[in-house]
Amino acid sequence: MLLKYFYDPALAHASYMVGCQKAGEAIIVDPGRDVQQYLEAAAKEGLKIVAVADTHIHADYVSGVRELADRHGAKLYLSDEGPAEWKYLFADQYPHQLLTDGDTFSIGKVDFEVLYTPGHTPESLSFVLTDRGGGADQPMGIFTGDFVFVGSIGRPDLLEQAAGIMGTAEPGARDLFRSVQRFRQLPDYLQVWPAHGAGSACGKGLGAIPSSTVGYEKQFNPALQFTGEQEFVDYILSEQPEAPTYFAVMKRVNKEGPTVLGDHQLPEKLVAKEVTRVASKQMVIDIGNSSSFAAAHVAGTINIPMKYLAAWAGWLVDYEKPVYLLASREELTEATRILHKIGIENIAGFFDAVEIEATGLRTESYSEQTPQQLAAKIEKGEVILIDVRGDTEWAENHIPQAQRCFLANLPEKLNEFDGDCTLAFQCRSGGRSAIAASLATAAGVQNVVNMTGGINEWVEAGLPIAAESSGVPGPNRSASTTEAACQSQAVFWNAECPSRSKGTTASI
């Protein structure tokens, strides 16, 4: 047997190729949309990909199962568990086997047993692997998908928080508790192969180690230490990271069947001098680094640097509208690939970054200042400081004078801004706040500052810090958490704006 691990750091996504070298066949478990990597790896090992399996309907990326089935004839192995509204709608177009608890399937001499492990989603499965080709009659490991991670388990609230299906979080948590009890009955020696690592929004506190064992997780995984159902439910529904809004789109896409990309062409190059006109009407994303963007950028464009594209484009792009890229030719292929992986396909064109330089259209800028430079201004109220981090980060610590608005909610609030005060943005280290600063300048805010180094540098400088004493509602405590992230404090639309005449306030 051959087991090969693939990891996409942009999405914190793990997928696997299991091959039977005696049969010359392979299966891909939880594939991403970029299927070429699997094809190349299989060819290198002298294997043919004959099958593909998903543990569940993924919410954070576009699955590659349909691409492999349509273009390469791979047989589909998909869940048939859960309610009717969570069935795959495209499976009948291809050779397939729909799976329920206790089913088995094989690739050569490698056997898979299906365990129904709901909770993260109603249809979630896990696959227990036995390598008969190696002479074993006992299982070796388990593909847990988004059920059990290294150091964590999958969150049960995504249907409610991202897809807006109310009343599903607590029942999902109780299903997850029962799935955990089943997991605890597995042999300690089984290896655990999850579909995500550290940085994924599919759970809290995920470890960065690629694999584990059932025994280790029983011993050290915080979510597996609860014996009572209610205390488990309370734990798993608290302090989860914000659920990206595009997760609802991914659920629908992966259920209905993603577009088959094939040999997809790159977006068309557009005339450089048209960039300001396009940016005044549509979203143009400059994927260059934030410091260069701060120093000089095209009016109306926003900045999501390449390393943040997978994490934040899904939050900020309107999937129903065209989007344009401002990128170098060298970066265009990777940027397009990343957007396709999260289901953004309507990339209407791109502007060549080199050609843009020659136009002289980079006429806008915003200021970058360190915490040391901003501290006195913040203390005196000369700037309005906006913390764009998430709930749990804010609860851990924050700058006393800061107002809070989660980055994904900022555009709608900025559309209401009619003041001339200075807005300073802050996050943990300066990356997300740079995106926020670009959104503010694109919205027409004149006086914008990004706090470089973020709260990390603020703390290192020994500047005043506060912690949330009364507690911030966790992302799962309310259906409107992300809105609350802009309204739970005395938010900046009512804040005094010293740069305006006495008695007036800025409105955001």
- Same domain as 398, residue 351: no
Q: Give per-residue pLDDT as tens, 233-258.
A: 999 998 887 877 788 888 899 999 99
Are residues 336 and 385 both part of a single domain? Answer: no
pLDDT of 196 reads 93
What would the DSSP string read from start to end of 155-170? -S-HHHHTS--TT-HH
Q: Which residue bears the tokens 């095209």?
A: 298
pLDDT of residue 424: 97
Mean pLDDT, residues 37-62: 96
Answer whether residue 27 is part of any domain. Answer: yes
Res 508 pLDDT > 70: no
CATH number of the domain within which 98 lies: 3.60.15.10
pLDDT in tens, 139-152: 999 999 999 999 99
pLDDT at 262: 79
Instruction: Provide the pLDDT confidence category of residue 207 given band limits of 50, 70 and 90.
Output: confident
Nearest to 44 by CA among 65, 23, 19: 19
Q: Which of 197, 271, 242 is nearest to 409 (CA)?
A: 242
Q: How far is CA 92 from CA 69, 70, 78, in A?
A: 11, 12, 11
Tell me the pTM.
0.86
User: Cβ(97)–Cβ(105) under 8 Å?
Assistant: yes
Residues 13 and 63 in one domain: yes
Which of 323, 342, 359 represents a domain boundary (last residue)? 359
- The answer for residues whose C-beta is within 8 angstroms of residue 92's C-beta and 6 or more apart is none
Q: Is 501 among the domain residues?
A: no
The domain of 488 spans: 367-494
Q: Is residue 253 part of a domain?
A: no
Enumerate the H helices of 11-62 as residue ranges: 36-44
For residue 480, pLDDT over 50 is answered with no
- Residues 253-277 have pLDDT tens digits of 999 999 998 766 789 999 999 999 9
DSSP state letter for 269: B
CA distance 318 to 268: 20
Tokens read off for 273: 């001098």
Q: What pLDDT sits at residue 497?
A: 57
Mean pLDDT of the chain: 89
Quick check: 418 pLDDT over 90?
A: no
Where do we find the tokens 């990339």? 347
Q: Are residues 207 and 60 in the same domain?
A: yes
- The CATH number of residue 348's host domain is 3.40.250.10
**What is the total count of domains within the chain?**
3
**Phi, psi (5° rounding) for residue 109?**
-100, 20
Concatenated DSSP letters of 309-324: HHHHHHHHS-TTS-EE
* 336/350 Cα distance (integer angstroms): 10
Q: Which among 424, 421, 423, 438 has a CA at the least distance from the CA of 371?
A: 424
How far the first Cα of the chain sits from its last, in Å, is 60
**pLDDT of 495 over the 70 cut:** no
Q: pLDDT for 434-446, tens place per residue? A: 999 999 999 999 9
Do residues 137 and 286 share a domain?
no
Q: Is the pLDDT of residue 429 over 60?
A: yes
Task: For residue 160, give Cα distances in angstroms to 168, 173, 229.
Answer: 6, 12, 20
Q: Which segment of 99-108, 181-190, 416-425 scores lowest on mean pLDDT?
A: 416-425
Q: Which pair of structure tokens corresponds to residue 471?
A: 């507690």
What are 494's two structure tokens?
A: 């009512």
Residue from 66, 85, 86, 154 nearest 77 by CA: 66
Cα separations (Å) of 24 from 2, 18, 111, 112, 321? 10, 11, 15, 17, 44
Q: What is the mean pLDDT of residues 64-93?
A: 96
Does residue 208 sit in the same domain as residue 79? yes
Query: Which positions ≥6 away from 272 have C-beta within 8 Å?
Result: 351, 352, 355, 356, 358, 359, 361
Is residue 347 located within the same domain as residue 372?
A: no
CB atoms within 10 A of CB 211: 17
C-alpha–C-alpha distance, residues 351 and 344, integer Å: 18
pLDDT 10s digits, 326-358: 999 999 999 999 999 999 999 999 999 999 999
The domain boundary, picked from 359, 377, 392, lies at 359
Q: Is residue 83 part of a domain?
A: yes
What integer pLDDT is reported at residue 484 of this predicted model? 40
Q: Look at residue 503 and tell me if it is in a domain.
A: no
What is the phi/psi pair of residue 223, to 5°? -70, -15
> DSSP state, 102?
T
Distance CA 263, CA 253 (A): 20
Q: Are residues 44 and 139 in the same domain?
A: yes
What pLDDT, in 10s, does the model give residues 88-131? 999 999 999 999 999 999 999 999 999 999 999 999 999 999 99
- SS3 state at 459: helix
Closest CA to 354 of 326, 325, 335, 334: 326
Q: What is the DSSP string of 108-125?
A: TTEEEEEEE--SSSTT-E
Answer whether residue 490 is part of any domain: yes
Task: Residue 405: name the closest of 472, 486, 471, 506 by CA.
Answer: 486
Which one of 293, 326, 359 terminates a domain?
359
State the Cα–Cα distance between residues 267 and 275, nearest whole angstrom: 15
Tell whether 249 is covered by a domain.
no
Contact between 14 and 30 (Cβ < 8 Å): yes
**Radius of gyration of the CA atoms of the chain, in A:** 24
Q: Which two tokens stand for residue 272?
A: 């450089």
Average pLDDT in the 9-23 region?
Answer: 94
Q: Are residues 224 and 299 in the same domain?
A: no
Residues 305 and 388 in one domain: no
Same domain, 287 and 415: no
- Examine the domain organization and report whether 339 and 382 are in the same domain: no
**79 pLDDT more than 80:** yes
pLDDT exceeds 70 at position 462:
yes
How far apart, in whole angstroms, are the C-alpha atoms of residue 286 and residue 379?
33
Of residues 31 and 133, more confidence is placed in 31
Q: Determine how many CB atoms are found less than 10 A away from the CB of residue 29.
A: 25
Cα 459 to Cα 381, 383, 385, 403, 454: the distances in Å are 20, 19, 16, 17, 9
- Of all residues in the chain, the percent with pLDDT exceeding 70 is 91
Strand, helix or coil at 501? coil
How much is the average pLDDT of 22-41? 96
Q: Tell me the pLDDT band of 494, cut-offs 50, 70 and 90.
A: low
Question: Does residue 354 lie within any of the structural domains?
Answer: yes
Q: Which two tokens stand for residue 304?
A: 């999501």
